[in-house]
Amino acid sequence: MNFIQSLSEVFHDSFSLLLKGAGKTFELAFLSLLVATGLGLFFGMLRISTNKFLRFIAHAYLSIIRGTPLYVQLVFSYFVLLPAIFGQSIDPFTAGALALSLNAGAYLVEIFRGGIESIDKGQMEAGRAIGFTHFQTMRYIILPQAVKRMIPSFVNQFIITLKDTSLLSTIGIMELMYSGQTIYSVNFKTLEVLTIVALMYWAIVTLLTIVANWIERRMAQS
Amino acid sequence: MTKIQIISYINKIKQRGEEVMKKVGLTLLSCALLFGAAGCAQKEDATKDTKKEQEKIVVATAPDNAPFAYKENGKLTGFDTELIKALAKKEDIDVQWKEMKFNGMIPALQSQQVDAAVAAMTINDERKKVVNFAGPYFDSGLVLVTKTDSSIKKLEDLKGKTIVAKQGSSGLAKAQELANKYGAKVKILEDEATLYMDVQKGGSDALINDHPFVAAKIKSGTASGLHIVGEKLTGEQYGIAITKDNEELLKEFNKDLKEMKENGEYQKLYEKYFGTSK
């Protein structure tokens, strides 16, 4: 049979399994990014703090996470670090989400910093002038404006994290790529399966981009 | 500067910019073409020789599979490795080794990136549909491995537990069969080492792997706290996987294997790695 026929046959047999994998991929990316946003904000604040020690902590975090590949961080934390801390292996999904969160968080710190620092210094001065504390100015004046500017970079990071989920196959998580691999390891239809997997990743990312553009337009109106 | 001078200066910069972009574009394009050509040339090397007398074969190996394929002082060695070397020598063929993960071998054979693959690969019907096997050259079987203090003493104890196996291996198929039969879960990992680590650290409760690997691991002392549970689960035989259309290599290897078994060469190699108990 030709490629198209083979492709549709593989599609019929495997799509439900691949869809489950895609769900896991999306779940991981979404959860990790949620936690990463919190981490990014927290360490972002530390990064621009006036306190030297707090700044050092932020720099150490950034240096370690951005200086090593995610793959290395993953294998190291799952097989060595976490069992050493907790005495035994922790659930792969948690470990994977943790690693992804820490990784994305480090990059988000710089995105937040860029967004915040792009806001005119006058805004902070004005905020303090009307009696707000540094924290209140951040929360009510600076951050709302900064977030609008950060959206494109934020979406970028989401896409990167989403594609990074494929590395979690190393610790056995049945995400989209690994599900595909499991299928073609048995039916040997590598090309067909990988074509479908690639298309599914593309569809997810494209959908995300459309949603992000919609959000950006809505925010621009305000 | 006057306005006119400023404008002409800016235009000059624009022109220069365009020229540089053109040069960069051309360089990138020629680089891309060069890489493309190099890539094509590489592929042809593996497939061109199938038409005439083969002088060189590319063989896939996974060097984390002691004692079949592993590295000693950086050099590739092991039972599988030496077997291929011996067979190739009889045919006066050079062997170029290509290292890869186990589950990447059959796709590599299908796309003819390699001519053969040897990695303690079990001969089974699904694989025979897409590759040919020279052999069998080894009798093996799957075993179940758990921690020595595990509550799993017989197969029924697997209920609710997690079995881990290697991606694309016959051990995985067996694990899924047992999981269905006894109500267990299956976890899939990709390398030898991580299988054992996962059971040792409690990420999984048991693993299924080929007996020779387990025996070697236990012998080497790196499988502390693990032991084999029960008897061999299956009887399997290993073969050398060869691309589907290479009938000649298949015939030659089968002939040479038979010769090695008859003249005692095979026995010598076997005893070197596995002792005299068969």
Please report the ipTM that was assigned to this predicted complex.
0.71
% of chain B exceeding 70 in pLDDT: 89
Q: What is the mean pLDDT of residues B212-217?
A: 86
Looking at the predicted structure, is the pLDDT value of residue B223 above 90? no
What is the C-alpha to C-alpha distance for residues B63 and B70, in angstroms, rounded to an integer? 4
B30 belongs to a structural domain: no
- Is the minimum CB–CB distance between B100 and chain A shorter than 8 Å? no
Count of domains forming chain B: 2
Say what the pLDDT of residue B41 is. 52
Tell me whether residues A172 and B198 touch, CB distance under 8 A: yes
Q: Write out the residue range of the structural domain in which residue B87 sits.
A: 56-139+237-274
Whether residue B130 is found in the same domain as residue B261: yes
Domain presence at residue B161: yes
User: Is the pLDDT assigned to residue B179 strictly greater than 80?
Assistant: yes
Decide if B51 is inside a domain: no
Q: Is pLDDT of B32 > 80?
A: no
State whether B198 and A170 contact (CB < 8 Å): no
Q: Distance (Å) from the C-alpha of residue B240 to the closest C-alpha of chain A?
A: 17
B174/B208 same-domain check: yes
B40 to chain A nearest CA, in Å? 19
Q: Which residues of A touch B190 (CB under 8 A)?
A: 169-170
Same domain, B251 and B129: yes
Between the two ends of chain A, the Cα-to-Cα distance in Å is: 56
* Reported confidence tier of residue A57, pLDDT bands at 50, 70, 90: very high
Instruction: Give residue-wise pLDDT tens across range A125-145.
Output: 888 899 888 888 888 888 888
Return the higher-pLDDT residue of A59 and B217: A59
Closest chain B residue to A190 measured between Cα atoms?
B107
CB B194 to CB A185 under 8 A? no
pLDDT score at A222: 60
**A10-49 pLDDT per residue, tens:** 888 889 999 999 999 999 999 999 999 999 988 988 888 8
Q: How many CB pairs under 8 A join A and B?
A: 53
Residues B104, B217 within the same domain = no
* pLDDT tens digits along B98-125: 999 888 899 999 989 999 999 999 999 9
Average pLDDT over residues A64-71: 93
Distance from C-alpha of A187 to C-alpha of A194, rounded to nearest angstrom:
12
CATH number at residue B86: 3.40.190.10
Q: Do residue B147 and residue B221 come from a single domain?
A: yes
Residue B173, pLDDT score: 92
Residue of B167, B207, B192 lying closest to B64 (CA atoms): B192
Over the Cα atoms of chain A, what is R_g?
Answer: 21
**In contact, A29 and A187? CB cutoff 8 Å:** no
B146 and B126 housed in the same domain: no
Are both B100 and B174 inside the same structural domain? no
Average pLDDT value over all residues in chain B: 86
Are B65 and B176 in a shared domain?
no
Are residues B159 and B213 located together in one domain of the fold?
yes
Q: Which CATH architecture has domain A3-221?
A: Orthogonal Bundle (1.10)
Asked whether residue B158 is domain-assigned, the answer is yes
Same domain? B117 vs B251:
yes
Joined tokens for residue B125: 């019907």
Contact call for B110 and A188, based on CB within 8 A:
yes
Report the pLDDT averaged over residues B4-15.
82
